[in-house]
Amino acid sequence: MWSAEEGRKGALFRVSRPPKVRSGMVTTILGRKLGMTQVFDENDNVVPVTVIQAGPCVISQVKTKATDGYDAVQIGFGELKAKHVNKPMAGHFAKAGVEPMRFLREVRVEDASEFKPGDVVSVADFSEVAAVDVTGTSKGKGFQGTIKRWNFSRGPMTHGSRNQRRPGSIGQCAYPARVRKGLHMAGHMGDERITVKNLKLVQVDIEQNIMLVKGAVPGGKNAIVSIRMA
């Protein structure tokens, strides 16, 4: 649905897309990236997969249109000792009647009245799903130059050249007499929120809460990721 907002420079058109929701189910689950391996498909082809320990996630809060203006549930993942919980969060978990959890995320649903605090979201809900979108935080690389960060080409290595890894020119002369915004330069690399879409869900192990996703997902080992039905 298109909506227009009046700004100082005229009408600004923005597209608002509804969140991905499915009737009667929570479409997102939290998990921990365990690493990568490979499996073989029915044609004996090697398939690189990422192993994710997904859930179980417990619903700790339910939001409805009557109370909050929209339908959503809050899911939690990961154990957390009571001594590490502050008083506001301890009251939040006690009100829901659930154990403290380390990671909390809010997920939109079609009808929040179908859920209640204490309900469990597990990998069994993804057993019939063909593809997923995985969101995580990429590995931080620190301050990096333009060759590593932006795949620049290096300069000559011989004949008196002294600009092997220098970025080169960063602009023009009298006009525009400034460095343009967004210019690729050296700087902090990685540690960004990244979503990889439409990854094939190769296998789901309900007993061990494990799912195998084709390809790589953001983050290192033990990184927390969010898996959403594509």
Q: Residue range 183-211: average pLDDT?
A: 96
Element (H, E) at 139: none
Token pair for residue 157?
């290595």
More confident residue, 11 or 205: 205
Confidence of residue 24 (pLDDT cuts 50, 70, 90): low
Q: Where are the beta strands (DSSP E) in 86-223?
A: 101-108, 120-121, 131-137, 142-144, 187-189, 193-205, 210-214
Query: pLDDT at residue 178 above 80?
Result: yes
- pLDDT at residue 11 in the model: 39
Q: Residue range 159-167: average pLDDT?
A: 94
- Mean confidence (pLDDT) of the chain: 89
- pLDDT at residue 15 in the model: 39
Q: Residue range 176-198: average pLDDT?
A: 96
Token pair for residue 107?
């997920």
Query: pLDDT at residue 127 above 60?
Result: yes
Report the percentage of the chain scoring pLDDT > 90: 85
Same fold: 16-139+193-229 with 141-189: no
CATH architecture of 141-189: Irregular (4.10)
Report the percentage of the chain scoring pLDDT > 70: 90
CATH for 16-139+193-229 is 2.40.30.10
DSSP per residue, 163-174: -SS-----S-BT
Interval 31-72: pLDDT, tens: 999 999 999 999 999 999 999 999 899 999 999 999 999 999
* Distance separating alpha carbons of residues 194 and 184, to the nearest angstrom: 19
Query: SS3 breakdown of the chain: % helix, strand, coil, rounded to 5?
Result: 15, 45, 45
Chain-centroid distance of CA 114 in Å reads 26
Confidence of residue 134 (pLDDT cuts 50, 70, 90): very high
Query: pLDDT at residue 144 above 90?
Result: yes
* pTM passes above 0.85: no
**Domain chopping of the chain, boundaries:** 16-139+193-229, 141-189
Q: Residue range 99-107: average pLDDT?
A: 95
- pLDDT at residue 55 in the model: 85
